Chains A and B, each alone.
Chain A
Amino acid sequence: MKLYFKYLQILFKSQMQYRTSFWLLTVGQFFIPFAVFAGLYLLFERFGQIKGWQFFEVALCFAVIHMSFSLSECFARGFDMFSSLVVRGDFDRILVRPRSTFIQVLGSKFEFTKAGRLLQSALVLIWALSNLPIDWTLIKAITLVLMVTSGVFIFTGIYILAATMCFWTVQGLEVANIFTDGGREIAQYPLNIYQKWVTRFFTFVIPFGTVNYLPLLYLLGKNNGDDLLYILTPVLGSIFVLPCLLVWQMGVRHYRSTGS
């Protein structure tokens, strides 16, 4: 963990060498989800509610998933950009250093400009929360933090899976974007507005539902009993990353036996 912060430091220093581009990109990142959010706003302006969900409830959904997304894109960018690492042959370098491949790949790249995106979604979060009648308790606050964290874990898991594919295909697979970008777009809304199979897929296979939809029911007092289960769903969702790590290890083993 200490090493991770050292990587963070050196790459932040690198980034600061290019101040102008950093600021421009950050501002850009601020406005990208802004457009999406504006769409959401106009939608509710027109229809008032979707399947019983009010605007601010959906805004909360939106904020949580976008915060998770920007955090994971910032801190797990190494896996997201892994194909270039393999193409340049820099993965060999990682293998001759006495640390786990996981921490080294994670530390190989950070995308600090995603701070813009994070800020935007944090503003939405604050706006949504200040307009929702939630009786705050410590447990509820913790649940909210867990929601964002679990999202980071799930996105990271998908990046890891996509990165592992690079050992076989060398080039990054756009297929993974279906699940990261696609998952993000879908999880902007409460999952129950979709078809059953979509809801199931994003609850049990790629558990985005545990990031915002299910714990949100608890936060808003919409669940029927079983509080503890709803509080713990984000934690269960985070488990998603474990099989991904296992697959990653398999990929590394494959790489070392084929050298491709």
Chain B
Amino acid sequence: MIQLKGISKSYKVAKRQTGLRQAAKALFRQEHTIVEALKDISFTINPGEIVGYIGPNGAGKSTTIKIMSGILVPDTGTCTIMGYTPWKDRTKYVKNIGVVFGQRSQLWWDVPVIDSFELLKDIYKVPQQEYKTTTDLLIETLELQEIIYSPVRQLSLGQRMRCEIAASLIHNPNILFLDEPTIGLDAVSKIAVRQFIKTINQEKGVTVILTTHDMNDIEALAERVILIGKGSLLYDGQLGELRKRFGTKKIITAEYKQRANPIQIPGASVLSWSPERAVLSVDTANFKTSDIITHLTTQVELVDVTIETQPIEDIIVQLYKEYQI
């Protein structure tokens, strides 16, 4: 459905210098540096997938989304989405996609939300009957009944984001690009937005490409992640696989009957220790968790043990470090 092959894109960026004199000089002659935003990016996405597209700020996520949605033309490489080249057949192609930029609104600020929907209906030339069914469904699943008659400026950020997503689905697109859909939302709204993305993916089979900095979004939604850093593709695969490969650390918290001296277990590093409680970290690539527990039982009288896997957030931080991005 979506296929990118060897996509590269570089920008010419004006060098900025400090100081008044340099600024004055820049008025007449500006020096440029070439920034490679994307280097040889290739991947394929199948219909009905939810893909988390992650990477630190400035990694090239937005550039990729812009290329895939037909806004930007890449320097080299090919991109075929549903048989179209996005930047060539722009007006025909964009009927098939919905785009949500989390930081910018696509709704008309001073009028009720429903008026924006109506206008979008005309922009996308959606037949009245189809429009009716789609909006009814959207209003119901997103629980918008109460808010669609209020002007956008009176809505909370969470309510607005729900309307934004609904607005991007009025024309029944096959693909939905979400650029940081949960940015700035409170916990409840985040969960509502995630739930909704999941619903439309399952019920309508919409393919979703999602960029985010909130790893909980990824964990809740995406089975597959694509990691990009400094313009290069670093990882493309299952989230579980990523965890297996990089998230080999386990955290063991042991509570036991009082003991005077610190415990020492080969293969485990002690993160914290008190006479009743110890937190250990184990790299499961080299040591088995069960062995550690066995050692523990020989040294202390255990009361309770909890084993946690490393949070995905940590794995990502570790990955960024590893790739020096």
Contact = CB atoms under 8 A, between A and B. Distances in A.
Give the interface residue-count category, chain B.
20 to 34
B212 interface: no
Contacts of B106: 93
Contacts of A89: 101, 104
B122 A256 contact: no
Interface stretch (A1-9, A65-73, A128-136): A1-9
A100 interface: yes
Given A17-B151, A98-B91, A98-B124, A259 B70 contact: no
A254 B214 CA distance: 34
A14 B110 contact: yes
A17 B92 CA distance: 35
A259 B62 CA distance: 11
A10 interface: yes
B123 A3 contact: yes
A137 interface: no
B99 interface: yes
Interface string B110-146: 1100011011001111000000000000000000000
A100 B122 contact: no
A256 B97 contact: no
A10 B115 contact: yes
B122 A257 contact: no
Contacts of B123: 3, 97-99
A195 interface: no
Contact of A259 (B11, B99, B111, B119): B11
Contacts of A88: 104
Given A92-B66, A96-B69, A96-B70, A7 B91 contact: no
A50 B27 CA distance: 44
B71 A260 contact: no
Contacts, number: 74
A51 interface: no
A18 B101 CA distance: 28
A222 interface: no
A236 interface: no
B257 interface: no
A90 interface: yes
A256 B94 CA distance: 15
> Helix, strand, loop or mixed for chain A's interface?
helix
A20 interface: no
> Helix, strand, loop or mixed for chain B's interface?
mixed
B103 to A, nearest CB: 8
A18 B108 CA distance: 15
Nearest to A99: B123
B90 interface: yes
A193 interface: no
B101 A10 contact: no
B66 A14 contact: no
Given A258-B12, A260-B11, A100 B91 contact: yes
A185 B115 CA distance: 40
Given A92-B71, A96-B70, A256-B71, A10 B108 contact: yes
Contact of B122 (A6, A17, A93, A259): A6
Interface in A216-251: none
Interface in A80-96: 88-90, 92-93, 95-96
B87 interface: yes
A259 B66 contact: yes
B131 to A, nearest CB: 14
Contacts of B124: 97-98
B108 A259 contact: no
6 contacts: A11-B108, A14-B108, A93-B104, A95-B69, A95-B90, A256-B71
Interface of A: 2-3, 6-7, 10-11, 13-14, 17-18, 88-90, 92-93, 95-100, 256-260
Given A93-B99, A95-B69, A95-B90, 11 more contacts: A2-B122, A10-B111, A10-B119, A11-B108, A14-B110, A89-B101, A92-B71, A99-B91, A256-B73, A259-B63, A259-B71
Give 3 nearest A-B pairs by CB, closest first: A14-B110, A95-B71, A98-B91
